[in-house]
A = this chain, B = another copy of it.
Amino acid sequence: MVTLAEVAQHAGVSASTVSYVLSGKRSISAATRQRVERSIRELGYHPNAGARALASSKSNIIALMVPLRTDMYVPVMMEIAIAVATTARTHGYDVLLLTGEEGPDAVRRVTASGLADAMILMDVELDDERLPLLRDAGGPTGAKPGVGEDRPSVLIGLPASTSGLTCVDLDFGAAGALCVEHLAMLGHRDIAVIGEAPAVYERHTGFAERTLDGLRSRARDLGLRALHRPCEGGYDAMAVTLARILDERPGTTGFVVQNESAVEPLLALLRQQGRAVPEDVSVIAVCPDQVATQASVRLTSVAIPAQEMGRRAVELVVAKLDGRGTDEVVLIPPELTVRGSTGPVPSAS
């Protein structure tokens, strides 16, 4: 194994010079730099991660905690995780993959051992048990005098109280409002909201509620009636839910769907009932673009910007590690894309 000392010897300089060439933390004459770089290349030197971490008390690793549960829409998580990993690399960090399984203990373990310099948490619950740990061990505010004690974190998703925390999320409230506006503009007055599985609401993940709040309040403003029904997803559950909705509000002409596994069943059922989309009813979804474009009908939708969420989370956490950056809540503005599933409300006939 090639060590820094060997590189130094080979290049005829001191160890610290090699170190500084690597880190760029002090100016090096072009000549020396080149000799050192040449030696590094010729010897095939790779700095030892452990030694570095020990000497600098920085591991250059960001821990990413993903939910163990897989009842959320998985591709979104994967996309976020991949975006986190690639963005982290562009900032010189690697990503450690933690599952929610260990819970708060994982936070302590990874944080206290110096395994990771910072954490990104996905799928935060409104009153997450990991939050207290994060609050007092992270951020410029909470920085202890002792070196390297600071372990900043960023949440993807919003807990009930964000004080002392940094969070990134889609502005689901605005997303809900956007859906209503679009339908209202097309003349729809009676809309139904097909939501996530009841379990999602019970777990208090927040995003579903926020969508609903935004949606209802805008519906109120615009004078629309909105009926909300959670739905497990899948054909059977969707069939039941749809029947109930149409029973209660036969005049429903617009559907907002926030549940990837309900999208296709809904479209199939509507088709089967002879309700044409978008001629008879309009459907708008809050879902990743991929789902919207690959459905049997190209769906008008508000996108869930998975990549951007991952990227922003990394940028925030890196900013904190660099001493820039503050506790803040970044709500990504939703974007609505009109595709083929929404249209003007049918004229009464």
Contacts and interface: CB of A to CB of B under 8 A. Distances in A.
Interface string A36-63: 0000000010111111111001010100
A1 B50 contact: no
A68 B86 contact: yes
Contact of A115 (B44, B66, B94, B97): B94
A311 to B, nearest CB: 13
Contacts of A54: 48, 50-51, 53-54
Contacts of A53: 49-50, 53-54
A51 B226 CA distance: 59
A82 interface: yes
A64 B97 contact: yes
A36 B45 CA distance: 40
B265 A296 contact: yes
Nearest to A269: B296
Given A49-B115, A85-B98, A94-B115, 19 more contacts: A44-B112, A46-B109, A46-B112, A48-B113, A49-B50, A50-B53, A53-B54, A61-B96, A64-B97, A68-B82, A70-B75, A77-B78, A78-B78, A81-B81, A89-B99, A89-B101, A94-B96, A94-B98, A95-B97
Contacts of A264: 264
A79 interface: yes
Contact of A1 (B70, B81, B82, B148): B148
Contacts of A235: 296
A205 interface: no
Interface string A99-126: 1011000001110111100000000000
Interface of A: 1, 44, 46-54, 57, 59, 61, 64, 66, 68, 70, 74-75, 77-79, 81-82, 85-86, 89, 94-99, 101-102, 108-110, 112-115, 146, 148-149, 233-235, 261, 264-265, 268, 294, 296
A146 B3 CA distance: 13
Number of copies: 2
Contacts of A75: 70, 74-75, 78
Contacts of A234: 294
Contacts of A78: 70, 74-75, 77-78, 81
A21 to B, nearest CB: 17
Contacts of A49: 50, 53, 59, 113-115
B1 A149 contact: yes
A99 B114 contact: no
A81 B98 CA distance: 10
Given A68-B82, A75-B74, A86-B101, A50 B114 contact: yes
Given A1-B149, A82-B68, A149-B1, A102 B89 contact: yes
